[in-house]
Amino acid sequence: MSYTLPEFLAHAIAMEEEAAERYLELADMMEAHRNDDVSAVFRDMHRYSIMHRDAIRARVGDTELPKLKSWQYRWRTPPEMGDEDAFDYLLDAYNALQYARTNELRAMEYYRSVVGETDDAEVRRLADEFADEEREHVEALDKWIGRTQRPSATWQKDPGPVS
Ligand code: ZN
């Protein structure tokens, strides 16, 4: 599918806004569980998402943007998680980072696919730039995933009392 510039910009804004909301939630969750390091990572990501959204909005100016369907930009919980388990799952820093990584990767793949499919030179230029940004986000999260302890199998079955 080839996007027009307004379609592409609407999509990019919605994705940044979604990322900003999810990162804020994740940051609060990590803070509640006294994981200040990972909370700080998510707060940084929240800030970048807001900055990026605002930069795109400034570029849009008065152009009218089309409305999107939520499945086009909402973050997805990892496929192995049922919806009712997703919240518990995300309380663990490792899983929360993986969740964010999955969605950053999805954003990167989206922008890459636009680069490959669009006939509009400006859309291609922006999509290429945004894809690189998302790749940096994936890499930043990978670093943290590498430093974060994987939850044990027992933990996954029984999270135990929340202190
Ligand atoms: Zn990102």
Residue-level pLDDT at 89: 72
- pTM, two decimal places: 0.84
What's the 105 CA to ligand 1 centre distance in angstroms? 8
- Look at residue 142 and give its three-state secondary structure: helix
pLDDT at position 85 is 66
Q: Quote the ligand 1 centre to 107 CA distance (angstroms).
A: 7
Reading phi first (left if > 0) and then psi (alpha if -120 to 50, else beta), residue 35 is in beta
53 CA → ligand 1 middle, Å: 11
Question: Ligand 1 mean position to 138 CA, how many Å?
Answer: 7
Dihedral through CA 104, CA 38, CA 98, CA 33, nearest 10? Answer: -130
The Å distance, Cα 160 to ligand 1 centre, comes to 33
Q: List per-block mean pLDDT (blocks of 10 residues) for the chain, which spans 163 residues.
A: 86 95 95 92 96 93 88 77 67 90 94 94 95 96 93 57 54
Distance CA 133, CA 128 (A): 9
Query: What is the predicted pLDDT for the residue at 94?
Result: 92
| Per-residue pLDDT, 71 | 80
What distance in angstroms lies between residue 130's CA and the mean position of ligand 1's atoms? 8
- How far is ligand 1, taken at its centre, from the CA of residue 65, in Å? 21
Cβ-in-10-Å burial (0-12, 13-18, 19+) of 111 comes to buried
Distance CA 2, CA 118 (A): 5
